[in-house]
Structures are given as structure tokens and as C-alpha cells.
Amino acid sequence: MKQTALPAAGSGSYISAFSKSRGLAEVAGAVGEILLVIFLHLGLGGPARAASALQDTVKASKIVYSRPAVIPSITLDSKVLRSIPSTSVADAIKYFSGVQIKDYGGLGGLKTVNVRSLGSQHVGVFYNGVKIVNAQNGQVDLGRYSLENLESVTLYQGQKADLLQTASDLASAAAVYMKTRTPERTGIKAGIRTGAFGTVNPSLYASYTGKVKISADASWLHTNGRYRFTLRQPGLDTSATRVNGQVKALRTELALSYEGLKVNAYLYNSSRGLPGPVVRRLSEQYDSKDCQWDRTAFIQGTWNKKLGSDLRLLLTGKFTRDFCRYLQDPSKNASVVYIDNRYHQGCTFLSAAASWTISPIISAGLALDGQSSVFSATWENAFAATIPWAQRLSALGAAQILITPFEGWRLQSSLLYTRQRDKVEYSAVPGSVRRQNLSRLTPTVILSWQQSERLTIRGIYKEIFRSPTFNDLYYSIGGRTSLQPEFTRQGDLGFDFSAPLGQVGFSFGADGYISSVRDKIVAMPSASQFRWTMKNYGKVRARGVEVNGALSARKNNLQLDMRLSYSYQDARDVTDKGSRWYKGLIPYSPRHSGSATSIAGYKNLRACLSFLYTGTRYRNVANIEENRLKPWFTTDFSLAWQKKLGNASAGINLDINNLFDWQYEIVSRYPMPGRYVLVRFTIEY
């Protein structure tokens, strides 16, 4: 199964299908149906607008706990993102509680996020408020997104408690929001990172702050991906060098903002090796020589406008083109067959949302989204895809209502209606088309009580589903057309407490949660990162506790920021009581995990020490010793120095990752790097 997010490309094989008028007509018809269903269920008679979500922001250290009244969330701001030893968004959010990063090794390796064991497809990823869509496999590779131009990264459990947002914002069990920085002055910043794995990573950022604020950002990454490792498992004891992990990647972005209008144009182009799992003894015969090329391009825009004192309007649009080529060449590895597959994907997304204050205690919101995703494939291989072309038309509508009956109390309810229609052409019967329809109505209820500025208690109930992706359903090697949609129920009860203690700030929060998943779809790696096996597990139940604490202290030029997080989760397969593996832990779900981060600064010098721990987990539902993966931990250290030089400033960052050279693997038989060092030089004017 294809495992990385598809990128953009130059073939026009699906453009004509993408623009078929009948698809737009069906989206319009579904939008009309959505309006009817929503108003029948909620009884709303007019446009909706909401009082802006109450923000309970506890700025205990540079790590900010931003709690929109009732939603557990954690935000890392730009200062923290520049302090921790991280090169991508995936490296940063691994410090969040309840998060597991699937990392396949190396600086440019595939990195996806799993929250509370619900699966990566249940995590929505948003870039400046617009969802990143991958209809082919539903996963977003967070290793592609640099931290250099980001203002913040936020993880929400459930959804934002904001009435002015797209319907797609409500369509995930958890959400990661990446927000790029808005230029504050006209200037230029150049930097280069180098060190381990033969890494060369120059970057350039330029900004202009006139009436229209404009920024341009570009970076280039080259790494050979080679590193030594030791891997010991039952039947496998290997010490060798990881190969075929080379990456060349170019990322460019242009952004402009004018009053309530924001526009982003983005391009990512890469070529990489896919090292594959370590099996038997490492030799040329068993080394993966597979290669992959990706291109992603999108342009997106949002317009946020206040219309009168009680009404706000949000318009959103995005157009994406993706391309991926996968090559498996027997001339480089005699143990494989020839495969040269090329995939094209296009997506158009439009949304209109409004929020309205009806009375001092009642506010409401309404959003309508339309989306068309088209996928096409060409191939030269022994396992020819049976689906040369597929289209998914989606229409989503969301209505929300917010009631604040008493001081400190807040009740918010939302109803999301989703309708999808797939059209699939089969190569075996030219001209044959299969149609598959899907519609669901899913509610969310949020209740909070803010006793004071220091204490907030919250409760959440949310239902949501995710439909099988194109790969899940149709890809002939791993797909199964019999897969059912994956439906989840979530419940969360928690609180936040904060207290200033002189020059010391302290915050503490805890959440207990339960969730159930029906017809859970699981992707398990097989021969390579490209081909996976799909399964409906049936039923999964999970429960857990997350605890977060932060401490911040300031005295003269000295500052200290600390954060601790701990997560306990118990996610089990409860499909078949007669099965030997009934109530076994689901794959890659550790019961215990946690992190600790401390940042100390004095004048121009800043140091960061971070610790990550992941406990025992199993590679599949058979919880036997052979499938047990050992606990692992890593300690990372970063040291940064910055100096003003007239109108310019210069800086140097030293990152030592895996300080104690721990040998570990996050995904079975994909060994991670040991100790490695990266150095970054920057100059800003």
C-alpha cells in the first residue's frame, strides 16, 4: 500500500475527469440535502454566528497550554520550536501526551502521527486552517513540513471549540494545526544545517511588511541517510549500516496577507530511497533498493470578514495537485520483480462558514464544504492495479450552537453531516463504472465550567467516522473493497489549573478518556513501505489518562521553562470473544509513555534538554513474546547562541540527538539512528 502523501504533478491524465460538470452538480445537490438535514435536526432558522471561543491560555513557560474553554490542547510556539532539537513537525509533536509517531528512520524518513491509538487517518492535519487531504491513503507525512517558518503547532483532542470554522475541522477525532508566521518586519534570513547522514540543508526566508504582507520561504535538503545500527530480536541479531535512505527534497512557499485575506502557495519536490525492513542477515540481496519520487503543489486562501456587529463570514478555497512514482528494479535487487507505478491525485476544496450572535447567551455557527478528489494510476509491473481512475465527491455540513446560561458555564453542541460518492473505473472491463455512496450524521457535545481564571473543568462526547481510502478499497495488492467505514465514539473528562507564584508560573492539567472503534481499519507493513495489508479489526476499545504539567521561572536575565507529560492508555481488540487474542493490545499501542523538556536561557545563550519514553508494545494483535517490542527512550540536547551585529544578528545551534546512543525501533524492523549531531548557522538582517 502506498504510504506517503501523494504529490503534485505534471501529467494531465485526470484533468478532464476532474472538471466533469456532473461531479460539481452532485456536490451542489448534496449541499442542498445537507442544509435540509441540519435544519431539521437542530431547528435553526437563519444564519449563525458565534461569540468567539473563550480562551483559557496558561502561559506557563514557552510551552503554552491553550485551552479553548473545554478542548484539551497543547501548543508549541515558535520560540520552543527553535529551542528543541527538531527538524520537522513530526519531531516537535512527539512531545505531546497521547501521541505516537510512526517513524521509519532517518532525517527524511516517513513520519505519521497517531493520537490515543485511534490511527493516523483519524488525525486531521491543517495548514493555516485548511485541511491537508490525501484521498489515496489518508495519511500525511509530517516529515515534509519544516519548522523554520512556523509560528506555532497545536494538537487538539476532538475539535476546536470555535464556531467559525470549516465543516472539515469537525471531521476528525484529533487535529494538528500548523500556523505559519506573519511577517513583522521587512528583512531576510538565511541559514544552513549540516552534520550527520551527510546532511546539507540550506534555507532562505524573506519578508516584506507593507500594506500587503508578503513572505517567501525556500529550503533544500540532501542526506545520504546512512547510519550504523544494532538490532536484536528473536531470530535476528544484526549490526550493520542502514542504506538506501538517501533524500533530496526542495520545499518552497509564497504567502501574502491583507487584512482578513491570507493566501499560501506551496511546492514540495523530493526523491528518496525506501530502505525497507531489516530481515534476515543484511546483504545486497535483502537490502531494499526501492525508490520513490513525490511532488506536491497547492494554493489555498482564506478570507475572514466581519459583517456587522453580530455576523462573521469565513470563505476558504484550496486546489492541490499530487504526483508519486514508485520504482522497484530487479537490476538493483535480483529478489524483486519490476514495478514502475505512477499515481496522480487532484483535489479541489471550497468552504463557506458563518458565525452569528443570536442573543447574549446564544450563538451559533454554520459551515458548508464541497470537495472533489480524483485519483489516477499508470503502471508497469506484475501486479497491475485494477483501478486506473477513481473519484470521490464529498459534501460536508456542520451546524453548531453555543449556550452560556450562567457565568462560567458553556455548553456547545455540533452536528456534522457527511455525504460521499465514489466513482471507480475498472481496467478489466473498459468503460465500466462502480458507484459507492456513503452518508453519516455525527454529533459532538462539549460542556465546561470555568470556576475562575485558574480552574477549568470540561467534558466532551464526540462521534465521528472515517471512510476507507482509495488504497484501502481499491489498490489490488493491499486494498479490499469489502472494507467498512471506521466509526468512533469518544468521551473525555478533564481539568486545567494554573497559578502564578511570584516570578514562577505553574500549570497542571489531566484528562481521562474512553473511546470505542467499530470496524477499525489497520494498515500493517509487509514487504516494503510502499505495499501494506489492510484489515478491519472489528471492535477496539481504549481508555487512558493524560497528565501535563509546566513550570516557568524568570529572574533578571535567567529563565527556566520545564514541561512534563505522561500518558497511560489501554487499547484492546474486543472483536471476537472466542478468539485466542480477545482483549489483546492492538499493535503499536504502548500502555505507558511520557516526555520531559527543560529550556534554560541566559542572555544570548539557550539550552534545551529533552527526554522521551515509550513502553512495551506489540507488533500485532497476538500478544506473545515473539511480537513484543522493547521499551525505548531517547535524550536529546540542544545549545543555541545568538548575537546582534548592528542591524543584523547571527546565531548557531548545536543539536545532539539520542545523546546516549540508545538502539531502538519505533516500527518493527525499522531501526532508528543512534547518536547524531547537527549544526545550524543563521544570519538575519
Give the mean pLDDT of the chain: 81
Range in 255-269, 353-367, 383-397 with the lowest mean pLDDT: 383-397
Q: Is the pLDDT of residue 34 over 60?
A: no
Tell me if 5 is assigned to some domain: no
Q: pLDDT category, 387, cuts 50, 70, 90?
A: low
Tell me if 522 is assigned to some domain: yes
Q: Is the pLDDT of residue 104 over 90?
A: no
State residue 57's pLDDT score: 35
Tell me if 39 is assigned to some domain: yes
Q: Is the pLDDT of residue 21 over 60?
A: no
Tell me if 59 is assigned to some domain: yes
State residue 66's pLDDT score: 39
Q: pLDDT category, 428, cuts 50, 70, 90?
A: low
Tell me if 520 is assigned to some domain: yes
Is there a contact between 542 and 489 (Cβ–Cβ < 8 Å)?
Answer: no
Of 621 and 525, the one with more pLDDT: 621
- Please state, in angstroms and rounded to a whole number, the distance separating the CA atoms of residues 80 and 316: 30
What would the DSSP string read from start to end of 339-390? Answer: EEEEEEEEEEEEEEEEEEEEETTEEEEEEEEEEEEEEEEE--BSS--S-SEE
Q: Is the pLDDT of residue 12 over 50?
A: no
Range in 30-34, 274-278, 427-431 with the lowest mean pLDDT: 30-34
Phi, psi for residue 169 in degrees, rounded to 5? -65, -25
Mean pLDDT of 121-133: 91
Tell me if 10 is assigned to some domain: no
Cβ neighbors of 368 (< 8 A, separation 6 or more) are 31, 34, 35, 167, 351, 352, 353, 395, 396, 397
Q: pLDDT category, 381, cuts 50, 70, 90?
A: low
Range of the domain at 390: 15-684
Tell me if 7 is assigned to some domain: no
- Please state, in angstroms and rounded to a whole number, the distance separating the CA atoms of residues 29 and 32: 5
Range in 266-280, 341-355, 418-432 with the lowest mean pLDDT: 418-432
Place of cell 446564544: 362
Tell me if 4 is assigned to some domain: no
What is the total count of domains within the chain?
A: 1
Range in 24-33, 348-357, 449-458, 607-616 with the lowest mean pLDDT: 24-33
What would the DSSP string read from start to end of 481-492? Answer: TTPPPEEEEEEE
Strongest mean pLDDT among 124-133, 530-539, 661-670: 124-133
State the pTM of this model.
Answer: 0.85
The count of other CB atoms within 10 Å of the CB of residue 500 is 12
pLDDT digits (tens, 9 = 90+) for 432-481: 567 778 889 999 999 999 887 788 999 999 999 988 887 777 654 554 55
State residue 6's pLDDT score: 34
Q: pLDDT category, 312, cuts 50, 70, 90?
A: very high
Of 7 and 294, the one with more pLDDT: 294
Q: Is the pLDDT of residue 426 over 80?
A: no
**Distances from the Cα of 563 to the Cα of 280, 294, 544, 550, 659, angstroms:** 41, 37, 20, 4, 19
Mean pLDDT of 115-129: 88
Helix (H), strand (E) at residue 26: helix 21-42
Phi, psi for residue 480 in degrees, rounded to 5? -140, 115
User: Which CATH number belongs to the domain containing residue 641 in this structure?
Assistant: 2.40.170.20
Cβ neighbors of 282 (< 8 A, separation 6 or more) are 238, 240
As a whole number of Å, the end-to-end CA separation of the chain is: 46
User: C-alpha grid cell for residue 541?
Assistant: 476499545
